[in-house]
Structure formats: C-alpha cells, structure tokens
Structure 1
Amino acid sequence: MPKKISRLLRVLLPLALLLYFIPIFTLAFICMGLLDLGRHSKITPELAKKYFTGNGLLTWVLSPVNLFLDLISHRNRYIYKLDDFPEGHRAEISTVLRTFDENKTEIINDIRKQLEGKSRGMLFYKWYGKNTNDAVPAFNKDYQYIKTIGVSVFNKKKSTSLHFGPLRLTLRVLYNLTPIKSDNIFIEVDGKKHFWHDDPLFIFDDTLQHQSINEEDHERYCVFVDVLRPSQFTGLQNLLMKLMQQVFIKFNGIFYKNWTFLK
C-alpha cells in the first residue's frame, strides 16, 4: 500500500503545483490525457490508474504529440489487416516478413542459444530507423515506412503485464514464427484476445493497453516491426522519427527494462 500511495503522490503533487501556476495549460493537458484514454472500448478505474499513475504515464505525457499524429494520419483502425495499408506499406511489410520466413531457422537457433533460461529476450536489427545488427543484411536496407525490425521471444510460461506503448507515430506489426494450436498463447489488446493459431500476423496501435501471454511449455518467437502510420505527411513523420531516434535509442532500457537484449 505505501508503494501505491508513493506512486500516486509522485503524480498528484507535481500536478497540483502545475494547476496552481499554469492552470489553463494543465487543465488542457489533463483533457488531452482523458481524450487519449477514451479511445479504449471500456474505461475502468484500474485502466485509468495505470494510464495516469502507472506504466501508461509516458503515454499520457506524450498524449499531445499522439493526438497531433492522429490529425495528420489516416483514420486509426486500432487493429489492422495487411490489406488496410497502402501499397507501399504492404510491400515493405510483406518483404520483411518473407525475409523472416526465409531465415527463420537460423534466427531462432541464434536466439535460443542466447536465451538460456532468461524470461524474455529482444533482438533488434533496426531500431527507430537505425541499423543495430547486420546478421541479416536485408534488414539493413533503407525502408521508407518500416522503422524498427526485431524479434521478441518469451521463454516457457512467461508473459507481460498490461502496459501501453508510448508513441502513435508507428503501428506495431507482430508475426508469430512458431504458432501452435493452443488458446494459452495470445495477445490481448483493449480487452480483446488474438490467438496466434488463428492468424500468425497481428497489427495494432500499441498505445492501447495490451499484454502478451505465453502459458505453454514452448518458447514463443514473434517478429516485432514498427511501421509508419499511413499518412499524407510521410516526410514530416520521418523528420519526427529522426528526432525520436535520438531520444529513444538512449533510453530504450527504460521501455524494455524487463527484457534481456540479445545480439
């Protein structure tokens, strides 16, 4: 209980000071957070608490940016099919997924050697537009729309907690490399479950609350790709991506503190 109170006070005290000194700005900021949170299909006290005082706090801080990105992007479908994307986006996504299929055995074997009992691992080939691993040369090419390429792996019976992605500049593309027939391996987004055995490909807005579950005695390997949201302002999106690269590449340990980074 003291920890929960401390976490709450870390948010409420600065907010009270901001309300006193810059009330209009602070009220507008709170309203933007409420508007951002309202995209969820069902608002609960637990959801609001996590968003405003828990692991959604950064998403709230970035809500003005995210709402601006909504304005310059095509309508947000929240959960996407590949056919929902323009031709250029589809071509890049399909090329990357095909490359993973062609190199799947080598990639999984390499990751398995490094995992060695660790709960969760993350291997990045490209991070916010910056190449970080040259093991698969095709991933190092310059893409117009794809900005992050990686693989996330869960060890046996390992899952994430409910959490929010920070930024709506991109959409998250997940592609399960090892789908098995089980309802115990799935991803849940905004209260809706997607089972990998139904479709190994799942694309969504990761600023919605979500979690990944693996309750089987099998490792779970998922391609992890970030692609720019469809927009008429791709040049502006890429400029923002370069700015974000400078920030996020220095602090990726904060966003993935419960993960082991693989090489």
Structure 2
Amino acid sequence: MTKDQRKLVRKLVIAIPVLAIALYFIPIITIIFLVCGLIDVMRNDRKDQRLFSLYFLGNGIFTWLLSPFNLLVDLLCYRNHGVWKIDQFPADYQREINEVLGVFKERRNEIIADIDANFGSGRRGMYVYQWYGKHKIDNIAEFNKDFKYIKTIAVSVFSGRESTSWHFGPLRLSLRVLYNLIPVNAEIFVQCGNVKNYWHDNPLFIFDDTLLHRSVNEYDGRRYCVFVDIVRPSPMPRLIAGMLAFVSMSVERINSIFYKNWKMIGSSKKKPETA
C-alpha cells in the first residue's frame, strides 16, 4: 500500500463513522449536503479518485460545506464557463480588467522592483493593493479608486521551483484573473482540471477557482502573477457584489486558512525606525 493509499484509508476510517452519525441524527440536512456536494464536484472535468478524495476528505471540505450557497449563486449568475476568455465578459467588466492590466503592463518594472524590495526571502508572497475592496498598498495611484466589479488587486509571487498542491477555492461569487508579468519559456503554468496554461503561450488566464486547480513554477527564478478577483457576471450585479461585500467582513479569518503558507504584504507605509 502506498503512502497516499494509507492516508486515504485513515481519512475514511474517520469519515465513515462521522457520516453514519450525521445520517442518523440529522438525515435531511446530511443528504442535502451530500447531494449538493455531488452536483458541485461533478462540475470538474477530471473525475478521478484524487478529485473526490480532495473534495470530500481533503482541502475541498470547506468548498463542499459551501456548495449549497455556491449552487444558489450559480442560479443568480450567467453561465459559468469554468475557464473564461475576456470576450465572454460584458463590456463594462472587460473595461475594468483591461484598465487594471494596462497599468500592470505599463508599470511592470516599477512594480516588480517594489515587490522585490518588500518581499525579501520566502516561498510565496502576496503583494496586495486591494483585498475584497479594502485598500492596502497605495503607491500606485490607479489602484486607489473603488472599482465596480474588481474587488481584489494583488501580485502573487513564487520563489524558484515553488508550486501549490491541487486545491479548491471556497466561493463562486467571483472569478480569478491571473496575468503573468514575466512569461518565461519554462515549466511555469497554471492548471485548472484538464486545461494547462503555460504563461509563455498565454500570459492571461481567467477561471473559476472553486474548480480543482494548481499553480506550478519549475523555474529557478521568481514568478510574478497579477492576482485579480472580479465579481461574477450576473443580471443582478449589485446583489452579487453586495453578497461578496458581506462575505468579505470575515475574509481575514478565511485568509488565515487559505493563505497560511503565504507572506502577505499589505501596506506601503514605512514603519518608523527604532533606535
């Protein structure tokens, strides 16, 4: 038996009695969560043991617990393409995406130099201009305004040969927009299900991060990716934005779970020097 198989068996030994107890004491609620979870996980295109194990027994448990809410959000939004192209967004969404990416393209060298000066050493960093509408680093004037649809503006930094494991995001109120600032012809990519996007082929990748995905950097240098969250396109954009704003009230606690391996850099204000 392999290490992964032993790990799966240990999880099942715990999960099966817990599920049996839940079905006995709260059968209707348990069945609702099981059905919603199955509907939700089947949206993924790689339907293998790893998918179901991670979703129900691994880092996707939080996504599973939120599946009834996420499925409700799907009913309130336009069709979810999973992996998106920018021209699939309404025109006003496209304008905001292009506006923000245009600033990154124009001021790329300045932004990277500032990140390197503040990040120092570490495996993964997140250089944050806005986080769910909260303003953080303020040294790029174009990012200091409140956008209608874009709620997070940051840069994700990976050190050389640093990658994430396969994982799920928690909520489908927003979509993830990634843009690689220095596309290198190497084993550097983001993968969502069966779609593997090499940054040197296409520096822009937009996707639903509640699908199983990973980010890989098998290059010796740093990888810099613009990291943007944009409200899901919907016939009721104010409702979706309002729901996201409500959820963001507890985002600091969520961050501690989903970004525990990241160095969060969120203020450009200098600390006073001590004697």
Same fold flag (TM > 0.5): yes
Query: Which residue does the alignment assign to 2:239?
Result: 236
Is residue 166 of structure 2 the alignment partner of residue 178 of structure 1? no
Cα distance in 2 for partners of 1:212, 1:129 equals 25
Q: Which residue is equivalent to 2:272? A: none
CA RMSD of aligned residues (A): 1.6
User: What is the number of equivalent residue pairs in this alignment?
Assistant: 262
Distance (whole Å) between structure 2 residues aligned to residue 223 and residue 244 of structure 1: 23
Q: In the superposition, relative to structure 1, how do residues 258 and 12 fare at CA in structure 2: closer, same or farther (>3 Å)? A: farther
2:202 to 199, 202, 207: 199
Counterpart in the other structure of 1:66? 70
User: Matched residue of 1:32: which SS?
Assistant: helix
Q: Does 1:39 align with 2:46?
A: no
Give the drift of 1:256.
Answer: 0.5
Q: Under a length normalisation based on structure 2, what TM-score does the superposition of the two structures give?
A: 0.90
Letter in 2 for 1:174: L
Q: Which amino acid aligns with 2:223?
A: R
CA distance, structure 2, for counterparts of residue 96 and residue 39 of structure 1: 30
Residues 176 and 223 of structure 1 are in contact (CA less than 8 Å); yes or no, is this contact kept in structure 2?
yes
Match of 1:262 among 259, 262, 265: 265
Q: 1:132 aligned to 124, 131, 136, which one? A: 136
Tell me which residue corresponds to 2:126: 122
Cα distance in 2 between the residues matched to 1:98 and 1:37 = 35
Q: Does 1:50 align with 2:57?
A: no
Q: In 1, distance between residues paired with 2:103 and 2:260? A: 28
Tell me the secondary structure at the aligned position of residue 137 of structure 2: coil
Amino acid at match of 1:115: F
Structure-2 change in CA distance of 1:56 and 1:127 (3 Å): same
User: Residue 106 of structure 1: CA displacement?
Assistant: 1.7
| TM-score scaled by length of structure 1 | 0.94
Q: Percent identity?
A: 48
Secondary structure, in 3 states, of the residue corresponding to 1:19? helix
Contact 2:126 2:264 in 1 (8 A): yes
**TM-fit CA distance, 1:4:** 5.2
Contact 2:8 2:53 in 1 (8 A): no
Q: Which runs of 5+ in 1 are unaligned?
A: none
Can you give the 5+ residue segments of structure 2 that lack an aligned partner in the other structure? 267-275
Whole-angstrom distance in 2 between the partners of 1:258 and 1:15: 30
Q: Establish whether residue 190 from structure 1 lines up as the match of residue 193 from structure 2.
A: yes
Pair member with larger Rg: 2
